[in-house]
Amino acid sequence: MSPGLPQARGALSDAVIAVLGGRESGLPSDEDVRRADPYGDDLQILLYVLYELHYRGFRGTDEELEWDPGLLRVRAAAEAAFLRALRDATAGGDDVQRTVGALLVEPVGDDGRSVSRYLRHEGELWQLREYAALRSLYHLKEADPHLWVVPRLRGRAKAAMVAIEFDEFGAGRAENIHAQLFADLMVDLGLDPAYGTYLDLAPAEVLATVNLMSLFGLHRSLRGALVGHFTAVEVTSSPGSRRLAKALRRAGAGAAAQRFYDEHVEADAVHEQVVRREVIGGLLEDEPQLAADIVLGVEATGHLEDRLADHLLAAWRNGDTALRTPPGGTAAHTAPFSGRSRRAP
């Protein structure tokens, strides 16, 4: 079932959500969008809801709005602002080998910005629940946007990408689809696994990580950046997943919660080799001019993950929730989250 529309977070998203809800509303101008904070709640929820039209949509929203010219105009303006901010925040260049090689080097000790290290050594069960709820916006659609790049690849890159995605989608078994494994993890932790449940509780830092893969996936011109994003995810997944599996065991979570990360420790160790040698190698063999876009995809992913880590760790180290408090939030939103020593969402 498609989720309901989320709450607006400002004038821009209010206008767009009104249209999606079937109400008369004037859409924001390009200039209005350009003036917005590219990392802020208003622009990020606007992008999220417009991207969601290409996934499952929203309950009660006309499916024909997926290709509405006015909404596409607003989306294009928001994408331009977001992409400009990402380019400004990343070093750039076209040295793919150096950029990907840096992902393979685990920092010595804790640099203070690793969520998985924090949860492994200090995290409490309520923090693991918050983390799962927020990451559900990503993991319940984890492999979907990466499929958009498949028809844009050829030869080695296409064959390798499909092989990895076959694993992501459960190798033909519905119960082993990685998104389903994450839903099982959520149930084990006492969370609602329904798609989109925790959207209103997710801060802009979470939305940006999901919007990034939709941005790269939907644009053929950014196919190299999508491969860079995919590479960053696959290369860094295995060690982080190992720490999160240990965190869940230490916190007393059940087998279903542990299985998702245990699966990623083994699977992504293999995927990392395939994506570096075959997906990237094949793509650069066919289209060497995409090297700078691959670097952008890797660096933008790291940039947004660092922003999210800073948000999560600042809240948790202060004993606070990392969840956003939506206007009119109710106990139903926050029932699974308990144990915080300070304010509640």
Q: Where are the alpha helices (DSSP H) in the chain?
A: 11-20, 30-35, 41-52, 69-89, 96-103, 115-121, 125-139, 144-147, 155-168, 178-188, 204-218, 223-251, 255-274, 281-286, 291-317, 331-334
Region 55-68: mean pLDDT is 97
The tokens for 228 are 């860079």
- Is the pLDDT at 345 greater than 50, yes or no? no
For 75, what's the count of Cα atoms within 13 Å in the CB-facing half-sphere?
22
Query: What local confidence, expressed as pLDDT, does residue 341 receive?
Result: 40
Residue that is written with structure tokens 């947004």 in the block: 304
Residue that is written with structure tokens 């992409």 in the block: 83
| CB proximity list for 113: less than 8 A, separation 6 or greater | 306, 309, 310, 313
Q: Which phi and psi angles does 131 have, rounded to 5°?
A: -60, -45
Region 131-136: mean pLDDT is 97
| CB proximity list for 175: less than 8 A, separation 6 or greater | none
Region 311-329: mean pLDDT is 88
Q: Which phi and psi angles does 194 have, rounded to 5°?
A: -65, 140
**pLDDT band (50, 70, 90) for residue 343:** very low
- The more confident residue out of 261 and 44 is 44
Could you write out the DSSP letters of every residue in 233-295?
HHHHHHHHHHHHHHHHHHHT--HHHHHHHHHHHHHHHHHHHHIIIIIIHHHHHH-GGGHHHHH
| CB proximity list for 224: less than 8 A, separation 6 or greater | 283, 287, 290, 291, 292, 293, 294, 296, 297
**pLDDT band (50, 70, 90) for residue 342:** very low
| CB proximity list for 27: less than 8 A, separation 6 or greater | 15, 16, 19, 70, 71, 73, 74
Residue 31: CB atoms within 10 A of its CB come to 8
pLDDT digit string, tens, across residues 193-213: 999 999 999 999 999 999 999
First CA to last CA distance, the chain:
26
Closest CA to 334 of 126, 40, 179, 111: 126
Residue-averaged pLDDT of the chain: 91
Closest CA to 100 of 261, 236, 218: 236
Query: What local confidence, expressed as pLDDT, does residue 328 receive?
Result: 57
- Is the pLDDT at 340 greater than 80, yes or no? no
Region 156-173: mean pLDDT is 93
Q: Give the range among 78-82, 147-151, 192-196, 235-239 with minimum mean pLDDT.
A: 235-239
Query: What local confidence, expressed as pLDDT, does residue 291 receive?
Result: 98
Closest CA to 182 of 167, 195, 163, 164: 195
For 344, what's the count of Cα atoms within 13 Å in the CB-facing half-sphere?
12
Residue that is written with structure tokens 């499916």 in the block: 63
